[in-house]
Amino acid sequence: MQQLVIGISIGSIYALIAPGYALVYSLLDFSNWAHGEVCMLGAYCCFMAVKVAELPFWLSCVLGVGGAVAVSLFNERFAYRRIRSNGSPNMFLMIAAMGLSTTYQNLANVIWGGKFKQMPKLFSVSSINVGGAFIGTTDLLCLALALIVLALLLYIIRKTQFGLHVRAVACAGRTAALLGVKIDRVIARVFMLAGALAGLAGILYGMKYNVYPTMGNVGLKAFVASVIGGLGSVPGAIVGAILLGLIETIASGYISSGLRDLISFSLLILILLVRPSGLMGVDVQDKA
């Protein structure tokens, strides 16, 4: 029970990042490797607001999420959109994303240094005993916020006009454009939504652990989760993230923490060999 609680808590952070990969892949058919660095920069924006500007923590969180949204929108507007407008292959988008990822990591290292930064503690280091499992208050906060935000995300994708436009563009972009859907606007809003989720994930990850320039590598785990669940499927990305968090935690607790990543990536290879579309893989008509 203890391992399950910890696994779901970690998986909930992955689950905030993974839908960003799924949504972008649904629309543009490429993996946004700079998404993890958006998460990292959102965490640093929150840290600077609360530690340097000495703003209230809730306002710092809002600024952190806003900073992540701004970075994500910048990536789309000044990098990816220019490449798309030139009619370049999707491989160029992936190369640009890799360049942005490396640039942001090194920029963070230059500005803030390589030392770990600690977010302020909202709660005293305490835990709640639930059925013999001790749940940390920070874990509870991460889990509760993630569940609320992910439920809101699924509602937006399935029940709103914006979600309908996203699914239409994912299914048939040219047809959607002929029917009046503004493709560039939909893509920009998807990047903003993905950036907001990544920023929140970065703040929660920084509260649970620390803030540091390479913390964006957690995005790689979220990408693995998205592939396991079914790249292009938002519900699949969420399920894959929770599953990956559970597997990592159980592997660390019962086998060896040193083998955690090996087991995770071995699962990825197995999924790709047995079911390349992922656990909840969908056809192109059902993306997002």
Question: Can you give the pLDDT at residue 142?
Answer: 82
Instruction: Give the model's confidence band at 285: pLDDT under 50 very low, under 70 low, under 90 confident, else very high.
Output: very low
Instruction: Write phi, then psi, for 281 (nearest 5 degrees).
Output: -60, 145
Q: CA-CA distance, 259 to 201, in Å (whole number)? A: 25
For the segment 22-39, the average pLDDT, to the nearest whole number, is 92
Question: Can you give the pLDDT at residue 118?
Answer: 87
Which sign does the torsion angle of CA 84, 86, 92, 98 carry? negative
The average confidence (pLDDT) of the chain is 88
SS3 assignment, position 89: coil
Which sign does the torsion angle of CA 196, 99, 225, 120 carry? negative
Which tens digit of pLDDT belongs to each residue from 35-52? 999 999 999 999 999 988
Element (H, E) at 135: strand 133-136
80-83 long-range Cβ contacts below 8 angstroms, 24+ apart: 80/28, 81/184, 81/187
**pLDDT at residue 284 tops 60:** no
Contacts of residue 188, Cβ cutoff 8 Å, sequence gap at least 6: 73, 76, 77
For the segment 247-259, the average pLDDT, to the nearest whole number, is 86
Of 153, 119, 114, 2, nearest to 50 by C-alpha is 119
Half-sphere exposure of 111 (CA within 13 A, CB side): 12
Inter-residue contact 190 to 230 (CB < 8 Å):
no
Q: CA-CA distance, 23 to 187, in Å (whole number)? A: 9
Inter-residue contact 16 to 204 (CB < 8 Å):
yes
Q: CA-CA distance, 180 to 221, in Å (whole number)? A: 37
Structural domains in the chain plus CATH codes: 2-109+136-286 (1.10.3470.10)
For the segment 217-233, the average pLDDT, to the nearest whole number, is 88
**pLDDT at residue 283 tops 60:** no
Of 287, 85, 110, 67, nearest to 213 by C-alpha is 110
| Length of the chain in terms of residues written | 288
**Between these two residues, 284 and 25, which has the higher pLDDT value?**
25
Which tens digit of pLDDT belongs to each residue from 134-183? 777 777 888 888 889 999 999 999 999 999 999 999 988 889 999 999 99
Question: Can you give the pLDDT at residue 126?
Answer: 64
**pLDDT at residue 89 tops 90:** no
* Range in 2-6, 28-32, 191-195, 198-202 the model is least confident about: 2-6
Other beta carbons less than 10 A from residue 124's beta carbon:
6
Burial of 113 (0-12, 13-18, 19+ CB in 10 A): exposed
- The pTM score is 0.90
